[in-house]
Structure 1
Amino acid sequence: MAGALALWLGALGSAVVGGGAADPSSVRAGVLGGFAMLLVTIALQPLCRGLAAAAEGAGSSPLLPVSSQGLLARHLLAPLGLTAAVIALGAAVCAAFGLTAGTSLLGSASSSVVLVCCALALRLLAALKGTIPLRLLAPIPTPMGDASGINVALWMIDGPVLAMLLGALLGVLWAAGLAGGVMLTWAAVISVVVLVCVLLWAQGRLKA
């Protein structure tokens, strides 16, 4: 978790101002943000064992008087609270010692909490992934042989790839936002949209 925080604060310190997608500071923020999100999702795995157990039991007769959605939501509270507190405290300590490359304490802490929320939503999505669809196992004849293994490989690594992509997006947005200007509002809005989209995707997997 400490490594993820260091990478995330490094992304925020990139201070993207007015550069395009190929701007060196934008690339740096995207790369660091992507690896930060990946590390957070990996670090959250031990805290989400109850979440995985609840996801496995979704759709069957409940043992508790709550719905599947309610049970999953309850299992999100502990990892969310613990991880958000650790990340926010770490960001506050780094800001107090001047290790956030000029970003504010509030900006570092709030953006770090956004990072945790999105990572936890990705853990929920992964817990509801289920078994591989049979359509992905169908043979794909090519001149080089059966290519169905490519679909299987992509299905297996879609979580880490999605974490890297979302982390890169959020890293660029928050680095630009904390550098000043109206981009901070856009960073917050887009972060909420991203979080809602991932949760809706998880809801779709729950109902499938």
Structure 2
Amino acid sequence: MSARSEAAIRVWRARGARTVGDRGYVVYMFFMVTLVVAAPVARAVWSSAFSTEGAALFASPAAPAVTALVVVCVWVGALLVGRERGPALLPPFLTHALATTDLPRSDTFAGPVLRAGAVVTASTTIAAGLVASSLASRGLAEPLHALAFTAVGAAVGIISTAFWLVGQAFSRAAMPLALGSVTLGAATATLPSTRPFTPWGWVALAYPGIGSMSATAAACALAIALAASLPTLMNRLSHAELAAQAARWDSATIHAAGMDFGTAAAIYQGRPHRGRRLRAVRPMNRLSVTFFIRDAVGATRTPGRLLAGILALTGAGALIVLTFAPTTPSLLLGAVAGVLLFTGLGPLTDGLRHAAYVASDLPLYGISDAHLLTNHLLFPLTMTAIVLVTAVSVCAAVTGIAVVPPLLSALTLALLNLVARVSNALKGPLQPALLAPIPTPMGDLGAAIRLIWAIDAVLVAAIAGVSATLILQTPILLVGITSAMLAVAVHRWRRRG
């Protein structure tokens, strides 16, 4: 072993000795958060899963196909996330010290990969076990089939970890693999006869109630084979890619610790690369058309980000339709739809954020600030309306739900989220008054207040999603949240300078 390798190992061990106290504090905080926050959520999920409505939802004829689609989405997401933030991740200094030695990557980066894989595998195993236990407790599935599906859930987690590492080791091939998986997944959903020939089809065939043991064995065999290939994949990791991912993640965590989540998310935004020679600003007879073309061209210069936004809007529309089904948790789906719609508006509102930024200074374009903001609202409003109307109409036709109520709910939620985006763009930096401690008998609530300030837009989007799903039952909630959002947005607009 070379002297450089021995020095790297000494640094690694010294860092581990120095951070024992920090790790203990992190473990303590993790258990505190689990007890205070995760425990009530887990109890609510457990009660919903073992209720009559939950068992009926899991036992529906479409459940195996939906499970296969979810597995495809998880694996595709793992491939794409691996391009930006893979499981083999260490701090920048350790990454440079260990990646430039002659030690194999399978030894130096095995720890973070195993920890990340354990979290993913535990999550998928718990989800599969929850579904299997719910069906078995109602007598809708045999205990052996329930146990086999839980094992398949663990196999899905192992495969997800392997795909996550594949995305990190082969970042250029991750996108074609993801597109191919999505195409095959759609074909499997359309043609159930192809399930025995695809890995996600094996998960559908192992679903409790079907309980194919051959599909279970095939999924577990694939997981074992991919687990055996993890050392080879780790050895294919390049020093440049490891260093770049470590630097980005370190910067993002620093900004997130300071509750600057917008800057942390901007670190992972792709740089514009398509259509750079395409002219964005084109003088037209109507100024609104000029701004619309400008925002449209700007969005298409990051096609991956634009596609992700459209997919998020489509998913939000589908969830809104499902909230009007009789046996679904409508409030939970509405909150998720609100957050998903707010997220999907991100790639469409770059011009809106630019307008909010320049509105705090002297006018740059010879028009008023309000006129500038209004012109930049045209593109996201048009795109959101087109995507939501299409998604809601198709999903309502497939599920047999009346299209008018979910369409009204979706369009209302889109307008509320646009107001939330405007308000969030005008928020500005953290107010010094929020840095003061707030002593209470339960402790200092200053950190909680600052956290709520940092994620207020997401919380408001979730509440708006709930109110939009209840638009026909209790419209007073929608009126209240709309009034509050408009009041905050107007207040921030008046204080923008």
TM-score relative to the length of structure 1: 0.77
Q: Which residue of 2 aligns with 1:108?
A: 406
The alpha-carbon distance between structure 1 residues 35 and 145, as it changes in their structure 2 partners (threshold 3 A), is: closer
Q: Which residue of 2 aligns with 1:72?
A: 373
Q: Which residue of 2 aligns with 1:202?
A: 489
Partner Cα distance (2:397, 2:389) in 1: 12
* Aligned: 1:166 with 2:464: yes
Q: Which residue of 1 aligns with 2:319?
A: 7
Q: Which residue of 2 aligns with 1:129?
A: 427
- Deviation of 1:141 after TM superposition, in Å, equals 5.3
Secondary structure of the corresponding residue to residue 349 of structure 2: helix
Task: Please tell me the residue identity of whatever aligns with 1:5.
Answer: G
* Aligned: 1:61 with 2:358: no
Please say if residues 114 and 191 of structure 1, whose CA atoms lie closer than 8 Å, have aligned partners that are also in contact. Answer: no
How many pairs align?
183
Instruction: Give per-residue Cα distances to partners, 1:6-40, cap 9 Å, x unaligned.
Output: 211111224xxxxxxxxx86xx2111111100000
Q: Which residue of 1 aligns with 2:48?
A: none
Q: Which residue of 2 aligns with 1:154?
A: 452
- Deviation of 1:196 after TM superposition, in Å, equals 4.9
- Stretch of structure 1 that moved more, 122-131 or 141-150: 141-150
- Deviation of 1:92 after TM superposition, in Å, equals 1.4
- Deviation of 1:76 after TM superposition, in Å, equals 1.0
Instruction: Give per-residue Cα distances to partners, 1:142-176, cap 9 Å, x unaligned.
Output: 789865322221211111111111211221x14xx
The alpha-carbon distance between structure 1 residues 77 and 192, as it changes in their structure 2 partners (threshold 3 A), is: farther
- Deviation of 1:50 after TM superposition, in Å, equals 0.9
Task: Please tell me the residue identity of whatever aligns with 2:315.
Answer: G
- Stretch of structure 1 that moved more, 32-41 or 131-140: 131-140
Secondary structure of the corresponding residue to residue 345 of structure 2: helix
Structure 2 stretches lacking a partner, 5+ long: 1-312
Identity between Structure 1 and Structure 2 (%): 34
The alpha-carbon distance between structure 1 residues 67 and 194, as it changes in their structure 2 partners (threshold 3 A), is: farther
* Greater relative contact order structure (CA < 8 Å, 6+ sep): 1
Partner Cα distance (1:162, 1:72) in 2: 21
Higher radius of gyration, 1 or 2: 2
- Stretch of structure 1 that moved more, 198-207 or 44-53: 198-207
- Deviation of 1:58 after TM superposition, in Å, equals 1.5
Please say if residues 89 and 109 of structure 1, whose CA atoms lie closer than 8 Å, have aligned partners that are also in contact. Answer: no
Partner Cα distance (2:440, 2:397) in 1: 59
The alpha-carbon distance between structure 1 residues 198 and 139, as it changes in their structure 2 partners (threshold 3 A), is: closer
- Deviation of 1:190 after TM superposition, in Å, equals 5.9
The alpha-carbon distance between structure 1 residues 144 and 29, as it changes in their structure 2 partners (threshold 3 A), is: closer
Partner Cα distance (2:333, 2:442) in 1: 37
Please say if residues 320 and 409 of structure 2, whose CA atoms lie closer than 8 Å, have aligned partners that are also in contact. Answer: no
Please say if residues 38 and 163 of structure 1, whose CA atoms lie closer than 8 Å, have aligned partners that are also in contact. Answer: yes
Task: Please tell me the residue identity of whatever aligns with 1:54.
Answer: A
Partner Cα distance (1:93, 1:46) in 2: 23
TM-score relative to the length of structure 2: 0.34
